[in-house]
Amino acid sequence: MITKYSSVFQHSSQQHSLGFTLIELIIVIVILGVLAITAAPKFLNIQADAHISAIKGAEGAINTATSLFKAKSLTSGQGFATVVEFEGVKGSHHQPYAASGTSGGFTADYSSPPEIFEAAGLSVDDWRYRIYIDNGSYAVVATPRSLIEQAQPTEPQIKSTQCYINYHWKSAGKPEITLLTTGC
């Protein structure tokens, strides 16, 4: 008879181990919630990190392009102010133009990419940009495409993102390259 009771108790305890109690489920849900709350900010910063990386990558590409353009200009034997063209990229004063160079001068519209984009290998499909005039010379400001929906934003619209790179062609010295990543 003792064996009968022990088998009944064993059978009854096996039935309870087939599922989770309500308290166990609540504890697991609370733990998952705490993990989600602590991990969510990290995942939200991934997009900001991607924008900052794009800006810094563009800065590196532009610095390299201006250095190469200067080296080619110096070794070409052309004068300082002479307009030169290397592999389709126009510029003078040993630096690529910020605007799009045309046979008649410059254009600040969207008919062709800025010369500095061409020189640096930046795709206009990845950026929202605006060519503008600053203190008598052309500049271009650009932000990652995902930050602005408008296809042809103004300079203030791009700068209001506080996540941009700005290339300012200078008639003397080096071009001015600035970036702002606080809004990325």
Residue 6 lies in a domain: no
Question: What is the per-residue pLDDT for 102?
Answer: 64
Question: Is residue 164 assigned to a domain?
Answer: yes
Residue with tokens 């181990």: 17
Residue 143 CB contacts under 8 Å (≥ 6 apart), including other chains:
127, 128, 129, 158, 161, 163, 164, 165
Chain segment 93-145, per-residue pLDDT in tens:
888 888 876 656 677 777 778 889 989 999 999 999 999 989 888 999 999 99
Higher pLDDT, 36 or 7: 36
Does residue 3 lie within any of the structural domains? no
Sign of the torsion formed by the C-alpha atoms of 65, 63, 124 and 100: negative
> For residue 41, is it within any domain?
yes
pLDDT digits (tens, 9 = 90+) for 53-96: 999 999 999 999 999 888 888 888 777 667 788 888 888 888 88
Do the domain assignments include residue 20?
A: no
How many structural domains comprise the chain? 1
- Residue 5 domain flag: no
Task: Say which residue, 28 or 13, is predicted with more confidence.
Answer: 28
Looking at residues 16-33, what average pLDDT do you find?
83
40 belongs to a structural domain:
yes
Structure tokens at 91: 């510029």
Query: Domain residues for 165?
Result: 26-180
Rounded distance between C-alpha atoms, residue 132 and residue 8, angstroms: 87
**Residue 12 forms part of a structural domain:** no
Largest CA distance in the chain: 112
